[in-house]
Chain A
């Protein structure tokens, strides 16, 4: 190749590199002028430029948090899975099916993106590299929901709304918990043993380390799968026989498992027919809303706690 050509290419590259470095530095300084750095649920320190005016939510739970603290009007897009509150469904949608379309998100020109780990790390990094701050809000328990909502309040300048909502949730949960504990104290009963089913064959359940396990515990349940020490264990059928749960909760939309006949007349009915929960017909089949409350950690989680507690201890309410 022509040495002159090579030399000029090198010169162009060097100039381009120095220009971009200078540009990036000035940009950084500009950012520093009015940024707040918050820590998200992955432990990442995310600088967010203030004020935040355009937010894209990539998960229904994050959308719900935004609306509940009164910051819903800042949302410019959410997902097609959003259902609460009703006006969240009329926003433009970005795809939540992984991998999300980065183009779609960028097109909304957001100054903040909210996501969960359903989005692959590459997507989050790609957005960060485009100088769009991404907060990963994926609470693992209820007090974690409180901190996340307070964080959102700080970032969106809705502190008082966030504090109000958190206080409401706290008192709601406290009410449920005191009902249950008063009932247990009064009757001297033990906690109800529960099998939580997210799939039928094999039995896929929740254990320590999962969000749902924490909700079940808050509702006063003894989750029989918690002894397996795995966040999402596959429960051996013989464990179910041995622990003989008093109650069963079945998540929404497990194909074929929508009523008690799956237990009493299905393939393994000889086993299930002798389980206390099946004999007493003490099985709760979540409808879609109840399932959403349980699976989307946010302001509506309190209703999941109450639903489970009411199912396990109807006399306490």
Chain B
């Protein structure tokens, strides 16, 4: 098991690289692999590359591919930790109110200034998360059962506020709708850079707690007897994953299913232990989002919101896994 898990993790890294190359050569504008290679060489050595091709590759496709990988990774790892901590297979990174909070922020943002949309989306996402946590705190620790219910209630409340703002047409309807559907069309190297920084800041935290996450799977009693302060660990991990998910959402909007499905696929292949899963789930998330976004941006009738594609890919995979579990 251990050996094959190693191999699988490494081959996932290679699969990601292959996906990057394939995605780079696919798009609404047809560019052959030879042209890509030629112009990459010319671009990197400042030798007058073809402007159209090099712009498409270096300023449109590559930043977008990078964004898909970073966001997919964030959703994969947040989804995994959420599911483990809540011991709930339906857990996804938006469970604590991130998405509906961000929606309110975005709706207000389009009202004030579009440049404030990401900032307000982030602030309101964290506000929703903060309220959920405050409600579910007892004796200085977060009660996960309470947190799920608090998250659902807060989500409904914030969704209602967002819907009301949209309904009143105070905010520009079109902008909010695009934002709610989620998409990576706004990718730039600057966005990529900041999200990447956030990702490498939180990833070690998750990896550091992988043993504690394993122990938590056995239940709180067991964890306590093994000397794990599960209340504190839960709070840290959930806060960190909500934070980084909020950041991702503030850049790309609400993209569903990646955070839900990636951990399930990972568990089927490398098992429940977080030793590998902590790397595998985010890698699967990155691949799902990259493939989905490549399809979304290459559709013949113009771009399709990527959330539609992730659901089309994610839902059948999840259903397949459920069938297999039933037979076992």
Residue interface bits B114-131, CB-to-A below 8 A is 1, else 0: 110000000000000000
Q: Are B29 and A238 in contact (CB under 8 A)?
A: yes
Q: Are A256 and B59 in contact (CB under 8 A)?
A: no
Q: Are B188 and A244 in contact (CB under 8 A)?
A: no
Report the bound CA distance from A198 to B167 in whole Å.
20
Can you give 16 A-B contacts (C-beta < 8 A)?
A: A199-B178, A202-B303, A228-B300, A228-B301, A228-B302, A229-B301, A234-B302, A236-B302, A238-B56, A239-B28, A242-B28, A242-B52, A255-B110, A255-B113, A267-B190, A271-B60
Indicate whether B234 reaches chain A with its CB closer than 8 angstroms: no
- Chain B's closest residue to A251 (CB) is B174
Q: How far is the CB of A153 from chain B (nearest CB, A)?
A: 33
Which chain A residues border B115 with CB–CB below 8 Å?
A: 256
Q: Are B51 and A274 in contact (CB under 8 A)?
A: yes
Q: Are B185 and A270 in contact (CB under 8 A)?
A: no
Where the two chains meet, the residues of A that have a C-beta atom closer than 8 Å to any C-beta of B are 97, 198-204, 207, 225, 228-230, 233-239, 241-242, 244, 253-256, 267-268, 270-271, 274
Q: Are A202 and B178 in contact (CB under 8 A)?
A: yes
Q: Are B59 and A268 in contact (CB under 8 A)?
A: yes
Q: Are A225 and B185 in contact (CB under 8 A)?
A: no
- Chain A's closest residue to B183 (CB) is A202
Report the bound CA distance from A239 to B56 in whole Å.
9
Q: Are A255 and B300 in contact (CB under 8 A)?
A: no
Q: Are B114 and A256 in contact (CB under 8 A)?
A: yes
Chain B: interface residue count, which band? Answer: 20 to 34
Q: How far is the CB of B118 from chain A (nearest CB, A)?
A: 11
Considering only residues 150-206 of chain B, those with a C-beta below 8 Å from chain A are: 167, 169, 172, 174-175, 178, 183, 185-186, 188, 190-191
Q: A236-B302, A238-B27 are in contact. List 5 more A-B contacts (CB 8 A).
A: A225-B302, A238-B56, A242-B56, A255-B175, A268-B188
Report the bound CA distance from A254 to B191 in whole Å.
22
Indicate whether B297 reaches chain A with its CB closer than 8 angstroms: yes
Q: Are B110 and A234 in contact (CB under 8 A)?
A: no
- Chain A's closest residue to B175 (CB) is A255
